[in-house]
Amino acid sequence: PLPEPSATGRLPVDSRHTLYWEECGNRDGAPIVFLHGGPGGGCLPHHRRFFDPDHWRIVLYDQRGAGRSTPNASVIDNTTWALVADLEKLRAHLGIDRFVLFGGSWGATLALAYAETYPQRCAGLVLRGVFLATPREIDWFMHGMGRIFPEAWHALYGFLPEDEREDVLGAYYRRLTDDDPAVHLPAAYAWDRYETTCSTLLPRVETGPQVADDAAALAIARIEAHYFVHNAFLDDGQLLANLHRIRHLPCTIVHGRYDVVCPMETAYELAQAWPEAELVVVPDAGHSVREPGIARERVAAVERMKGRRLG
Please list the active-site residues.
Answer: 105, 259, 287
Residue 297 carries which side chain, given as an amino acid letter?
Answer: E
The radius of gyration of the chain's CA atoms, rounded to the nearest angstrom, is 18
Half-sphere exposure of 227 (CA within 13 A, CB side): 32
Specify whether the CB–CB gap between 36 and 6 falls below 8 A.
no
CA distances from 113 to 85, 87, 103, 104 (A): 10, 11, 11, 13
CA 306 centroid distance within chain: 23
Backbone torsions φ then ψ of 171, nearest 5 degrees: -65, -45
Q: d(Cα 150, Cα 242) in Å, to the nearest integer?
A: 36
Backbone torsions φ then ψ of 37, nearest 5 degrees: -90, -165
Q: Where are the alpha helices (DSSP H) in the chain?
A: 80-93, 106-117, 135-142, 150-159, 168-176, 181-197, 214-229, 238-241, 264-273, 292-306
- How are the residues of the chain apportioned to helix, strand and coil, as percentages rounded to the nearest 5? 45, 15, 40
Tell whether the torsion through CA atoms of 163, 137, 129 and 80 is positive or negative: negative
